[in-house]
Amino acid sequence: MDTQGRKKVLDGYDNIDLDGLQDEMCDLLGLKCQFIIDTRKRPFGASECVIVVLEDEKGLKWAVRFPLQFRAFPEHVMVTVRREAELRLAIEKAGIQGIMRMMAFSATFDNPVRFPFIVFEWAEGTQLRWTESFPAVSQRDKVHRKYSHFIYHNPINRKIKRAENNKLPGATISECLDQQSLIAEYLIPDLDNSPCVLVHGDLTAENVTVDEEFNVKAIINLGFAEIIPLQFSACFPDFLTYDFESEHEPVEVEYGGGSDGPLFYLRCVEEFSRGDPMLEAYYKLLAAEDAIKRYWWFVAATKLKVHRAMAACSWLRTGPASKPQSL
């Protein structure tokens, strides 16, 4: 991928009928439209999709998203598109801000494009860049506030099944069962009847669009979004949580956004939560003494590298809660 987020290798992209897409968009909009930002030849890409952008006669811009990562499994592609479309409709109905409005979708290969797709408003701006020294503190605070205002099946059983079928390299059935045994420790009965909430699933800096003043314009890419129980939804944005080094090196844990970032974000959540019982419960989960252990326990359900580190230190049952041991 180049510095503009364009994919260098477009596996499966050449199977999409782009002329058919342009005709389909003209029919959907009732207006003539054309590809812009050179996305016909160089589409934008994420780890699970490619995106092209078209502009209509009125100057409105539209993004078209193709989930190419599942192209080898047609049925799964159709289910994925249909599920994301349903999520987007639910988001619009709930009035959640910051998600670009969906205009149309096709969950079938039997269309002029020859591939399922979703059409939504194009988010003007640039990808958020987040490092130890950039952006400045005042600009970071803007992003923290917006993120904290965007509230986001337990996958362990799926891990156990994969381990049983020898499809989980580096993890054993006993380790998965060990993780499962901690459910009672981290499950909060008082929240059993709490509503489920939307979790973005990939809330990284690359999926945030900002303007020149670092005002958040949109949260994009719902490819990993899901609805999960409130008590497992509380976590910091990915660029403020801990990160691991390469699996071939010792596991080092540190806050990716600087020492003050998570604390400021937590204060923002507290501010937004006042007077709302559900958001107050969310804040308490995020601020709990065992929040770090709980976070890593939950993340380990879907990230194998984290699973290995957690299993190596006995799931943080003893010792400091803030730093898993080296592999």
pLDDT of 85-132, one tens digit each?
Answer: 888 888 777 676 677 889 999 999 999 999 999 999 988 877 666 666
What would the mean pLDDT of 149-155 be, rounded to a whole number? 44
What is the rounded average pLDDT for all residues in the chain? 76
Q: What sign results for the dihedral spanned by CA atoms 187, 191, 195, 200?
A: negative
| DSSP three-state, residue 220 | coil
Report the distance separating Cα 287 and Cα 254, nearest Å. 18
Tell me which of 170-174, 202-206, 220-224, 315-319 is least confident.
315-319
Share of the chain above pLDDT 90, in %: 15
Q: Across-strand partners of 56?
A: 33
Q: What's the pLDDT at 17? A: 92
Q: Residue 73 — pLDDT band, cuts 50, 70, 90?
A: confident
Share of the chain above pLDDT 70, in %: 74
Q: What's the pLDDT at 320? A: 44
What would the mean pLDDT of 55-62 be, rounded to a whole number? 93
Report the distance separating Cα 130 and Cα 204, nearest Å. 9
The pLDDT of residue 324 is above 80: no
Q: What's the pLDDT at 209? A: 83
Q: Residue 217 — pLDDT band, cuts 50, 70, 90?
A: confident
CA trace torsion 255, 256, 259, 263 (10° rounding)? -80
Q: What's the pLDDT at 110? A: 92
Q: What's the pLDDT at 10? A: 52
* Tokens 């709490």, located at residue: 194
Between 322 and 91, residue with greater pLDDT: 91
Tell me which of 206-210, 259-263, 287-291 is least confident.
259-263
21 φ/ψ angles, rounded to the nearest 5 degrees: -65, -45
Q: What's the pLDDT at 47? A: 60
> Whole-prediction pTM value?
0.51
CATH superfamily of 13-121: Phosphorylase Kinase; domain 1 (3.30.200.20)
Q: Residue 202: CB partners within 8 Å, gap ≥ 6? A: 221, 223, 224, 238
> With contact defined as beta carbons under 8 Å apart, do 296 and 310 qualify?
yes
The pLDDT of residue 25 is above 90: yes
Between 227 and 36, residue with greater pLDDT: 36
Q: Residue 248 — pLDDT band, cuts 50, 70, 90?
A: very low
Sketch the domain layout of the chain as residue ranges.
Answer: 13-121, 137-316
CATH number of 137-316: 3.90.1200
What would the mean pLDDT of 30-40 be, rounded to a whole number? 91
